[in-house]
Each structure stands twice: as C-alpha cells, then as structure tokens.
C-alpha cells in the first residue's frame, strides 16, 4: 500500500487500520491496506471530533457515531476541509484571547468586589427583624457567657445604669434608631460593641478606664452609628454571603475562606470609618462634645500600643492614628452628663 493517509477505527472494536482516502462529490471512501473499501461515508454526514489546532484532523460520521477517522496527510486534509468546511476544528480562545479575557475577568472581579457590599446591604434589608433579634439574642447569650462568665448578672448599679440608658437614648434619638437594648457586663476590657437585634453591650472596663464621660459617649455613639447604618445586620449576612458568591463563581473551596476573610476585613474597615464619621454627627446632633472618641482611642493606644502599619490589612479596624486624625473636631458641645451622673456611671459595675 502507498503511504497511509490516515487511520480508521470502525467503532465496533478498538482495532486501528491504516487507510487511504478517495473522495467524489458526495462521498468519502475509506480504503484499507488491501485496496478494498472498508466503508463509505456521505460527506454530508461527516462530523468533527475534537482536534488540535495545526494537528491531525479527526472525524466521525453521523450514521456511525462510534467510528473515528484521523487524517494524517495534509493534502487529504485540505481536500476534505474544502469539501466540508464545517469540519474545521473550532479552537477555543488562543493567544490573543489571553489579553481579551484577562481584561474581561479583571473587570468582572472588580464588579463583584464593588457589588458585594451593595448586595449585602440589600439582602440585609430583607432580613425580618424577628430573625435578626432571635439571632442577636443567641449571640448575646454567648457573648455574656464568654465575657462575664456563666450565670453572671449584668451590672445594674443605680442610678448610674439609668444615666447610661438616658445617654444612649439621646444618641439613639439623634440617629433615628429605636428599640436599642443596653447591657453592661462585668468585664475589665475597655470596650463596647453592637450585636444583631439592637443589642448594645458595654463592658465594665470602658466605664472604669475612661477619662471623661465624653469618651464613653463617643464610644456609644460609634456603636449606635453601626446600628443606624445597618452594619451589624449586613455583617451577619456578609459572613456567609461572600463565601457563597465566591464558591458559586470561582469555586475553589479553601480559597473561599481566605477571600471571605480578606474581603470581609476590608469591608469592616470601611464600616469602621463610616461609623466614626457618623458618631461625630450624632454627638453634635445630641449636643455633646465630640472629641471623646478620639481621646479614648489615643489613650488606649498609648497604654496598649498600636499594630504595625503592614498588619493593617489583617485588622478589622483602620489604623488608630488614621482614626484619631479623622476624629479630631473642634470642642463644641456640652459634657454628656453632669459630674454626679458620671460618678454614678463609673460605679455601675460592682468593684472587685
């Protein structure tokens, strides 16, 4: 036999035959080594099989879908493609495609990162309040357990507790938020936070370590701002949302957690900046001096040290220096409460 022009498998067995090809206007004749036709295919029935660009042409036939013809002779290939152009192997995106799709994917990822907080806020707005409260009650129970110990009662020292409630109510009114529930826990950490379901938790350490009542007011305003801006519910939704969207679109499991953490932290830092700015506005609206939060942060940083700049992207808060700078405001407004009320507030939690 002259040099084979291709190889043929009939789809009934795994045997392969070296073949030559003959073509007329409507048929392709596949001829075996002994010169006899193995089979005849109609040109209209020819179907492409995945081939490599610049490599050998692979075909099948609609009437015998299991059969395979691989054409190795370039002249035969050219003749076949001329007769049946649909057989031209469709290559996917090639080298030029890299540039095009790189731009497209960067744009798509950018869109996703921008859209996530909007999606998060939208979904958060749809969460029924009763769900959020049920969730928040559970989280509060855990927080109380963790911070104050099992079965520990909240601090209720009178009249300090009532003064604190009134202060919180003023800020809530300024923010247009209702239904805030105040808790004071016996814990020495100088901190306060907002939970889903409109819980505002103040830790005893904040009251004892604050220099002035305005510092407490500043921290409270910051937390009220978080609630007013919907950060708390949004965070609750985003915790799961980012991971779900990442999994759906990119689909690599473990990196979803990483993405969630990094993206979540960056949204968190934006939320903190927003809460700081809103806190100033709330304090001004309530007629309270607004330099308290900045001073509080300054003092805490002096006592406990700030994190190094490069670790910022791992933190939930922007660097303190940046916050203090943006919180510096002229000292208009009155003290949050009278000195007597402040003394009472400091005594809300029993002394150890």
Partner 1 sequence: MTSETPSASPEFTTDVPTAPLVSLILKNLALAILTLGIYRFWGKTHIRRLLWTHTLIQGERLEYTGTGGELFKGFLLVLVTVFIPLFLLNLGARALVEQEEIRAAGAVYSIFAAVALYLPGVAIYRAARYRLSRTRWRGVRFSLEGKGWAYGVRVMLFLLALGLTLGLSYPVQRVNLWRQMWNRVHFGDKPFHFEGGARSLYPRFLLAWVVGMAFLLGLPAFIAITYAPTYEPPGGIPLVDTSPEMALLLIPLLFILLLLPLWIFYKAVEMRTLAGSLSFQGIRFTFDVRSWPLIRLLLGNLLLVLMTLGLGGPFATVRSLQFVCARLRPVGETDFAAIAQGAQPAPASGEGLAEMFDSVDI
Count of residues that interact with partner 1, criterion CB under 8 A: 54
**Least distance (Å) between residue 335 CB and partner 1:** 26
Q: What angle do CA 264, 270, 275 make, to 5 degrees?
A: 120
User: Which residues have CB under 8 Å from 61's CB, separation 6+?
Assistant: 41, 42, 45, 46, 47, 67, 69
DSSP, collapsed to helix, strand or coil, labels residue 329 as coil
Using CB under 8 A as the binding rule, whether residue 257 contacts partner 1 is answered as: no
**Rounded CA separation 249/95 (Å):** 24
Nearer to partner 1, 12 or 82 (CB): 12
Nearer to partner 1, 15 or 82 (CB): 15
Nearest C-alpha neighbor of 155 from the set 139, 147, 293, 212: 147
Using CB under 8 A as the binding rule, whether residue 29 contacts partner 1 is answered as: no
- Which residue among 101, 131, 141, 145 contacts partner 1 (CB under 8 A)? 101
Nearest C-alpha neighbor of 121 from the set 271, 243, 248, 259: 271
Nearer to partner 1, 101 or 313 (CB): 101
**Rounded CA separation 300/193 (Å):** 16
Using CB under 8 A as the binding rule, whether residue 36 contacts partner 1 is answered as: no
- Which residue among 2, 3, 15, 25 contacts partner 1 (CB under 8 A)? 15
- Which residue among 2, 3, 14, 82 contacts partner 1 (CB under 8 A)? 14
DSSP, collapsed to helix, strand or coil, labels residue 167 as helix
Which range touches partner 1 (CB under 8 A), out of 15-23, 140-148, 171-179, 308-316? 15-23
Nearer to partner 1, 255 or 338 (CB): 255
**Least distance (Å) between residue 324 CB and partner 1:** 20
Which range touches partner 1 (CB under 8 A), out of 95-103, 195-203, 221-229, 277-285? 95-103
Local structure of residue 92 (DSSP, 8 states): -
**Least distance (Å) between residue 97 CB and partner 1:** 4
Is residue 188 within 8 Å of 204, Cβ to Cβ?
A: yes
- Which residue among 3, 25, 34, 82 contacts partner 1 (CB under 8 A)? 34
Nearest C-alpha neighbor of 6 from the set 15, 17, 26: 17
**Least distance (Å) between residue 241 CB and partner 1:** 12
Using CB under 8 A as the binding rule, whether residue 255 contacts partner 1 is answered as: yes
Nearer to partner 1, 20 or 234 (CB): 20
**Rounded CA separation 144/184 (Å):** 10
Q: Could you tell me the two tokens for 67?
A: 């059969």
Q: Could you tell me the two tokens for 176?
A: 């247009």
**Rounded CA separation 51/74 (Å):** 14
Q: Could you tell me the two tokens for 107?
A: 């744009």
Q: Could you tell me the two tokens for 126?
A: 């749809």
- Which residue among 149, 179, 253, 339 contacts partner 1 (CB under 8 A)? 253
Contacting partner 1 within 55-94 (CB under 8 A): 58, 60, 66-68, 70, 91-94
Nearer to partner 1, 38 or 83 (CB): 38
Using CB under 8 A as the binding rule, whether residue 127 contacts partner 1 is answered as: no
Is residue 242 within 8 Å of 113, Cβ to Cβ?
A: no
Tell me which residues touch partner 1 (CB under 8 A).
7, 9-18, 32-34, 49-52, 58, 60, 66-68, 70, 91-95, 97-98, 101-102, 104-105, 107-109, 111-112, 245, 247-255, 258-259, 303-304
């Amino acid at each position: 036999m002259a040099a084979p022009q291709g190889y043929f498998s009939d789809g009934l067995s795994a045997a392969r035959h070296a073949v030559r090809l003959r073509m007329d206007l409507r048929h392709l004749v596949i001829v075996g080594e002994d010169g006899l036709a193995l089979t005849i295919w109609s040109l209209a029935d020819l179907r492409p099989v995945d081939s490599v660009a610049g490599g050998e042409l692979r075909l099948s036939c609609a009437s015998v879908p299991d059969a395979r013809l691989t054409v190795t002779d370039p002249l035969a290939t050219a003749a076949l493609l001329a007769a049946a152009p649909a057989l031209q192997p469709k290559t996917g995106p090639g080298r030029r495609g890299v540039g095009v799709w790189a731009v497209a994917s960067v744009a798509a990822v950018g869109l996703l990162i921008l859209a996530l907080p909007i999606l998060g806020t939208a979904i958060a707005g749809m969460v029924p309040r009763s769900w959020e409260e049920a969730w928040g009650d559970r989280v509060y129970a855990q927080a109380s357990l963790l911070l104050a110990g099992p079965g520990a009662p909240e601090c209720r020292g009178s009249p300090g507790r009532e003064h604190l409630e009134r202060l919180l109510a003023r800020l809530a009114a300024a923010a247009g938020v209702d239904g805030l529930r105040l808790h004071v826990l016996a814990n020495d950490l100088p901190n306060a936070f907002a939970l889903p379901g409109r819980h505002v938790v103040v830790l005893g350490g904040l009251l004892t370590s604050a220099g002035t009542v305005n510092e407490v007011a500043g921290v409270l305003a910051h937390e009220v701002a978080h609630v007013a801006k919907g950060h708390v519910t949004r965070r609750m939704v985003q915790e799961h949302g980012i991971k779900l969207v990442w999994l759906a679109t990119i689909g690599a499991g473990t990196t979803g957690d990483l993405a969630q953490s990094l993206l979540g932290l960056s949204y968190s830092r934006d939320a903190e900046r927003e809460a700081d700015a809103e806190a100033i506005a709330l304090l001004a609206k309530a007629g309270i001096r607004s330099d308290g939060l900045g001073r509080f942060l300054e003092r805490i940083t002096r006592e406990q040290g700030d994190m190094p700049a490069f670790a910022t992207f791992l933190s939930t808060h922007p660097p303190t220096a940046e916050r203090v700078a943006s919180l510096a405001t002229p000292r208009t407004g009155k003290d949050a409460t009278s000195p007597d009320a402040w003394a009472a507030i400091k005594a809300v939690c029993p002394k150890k």
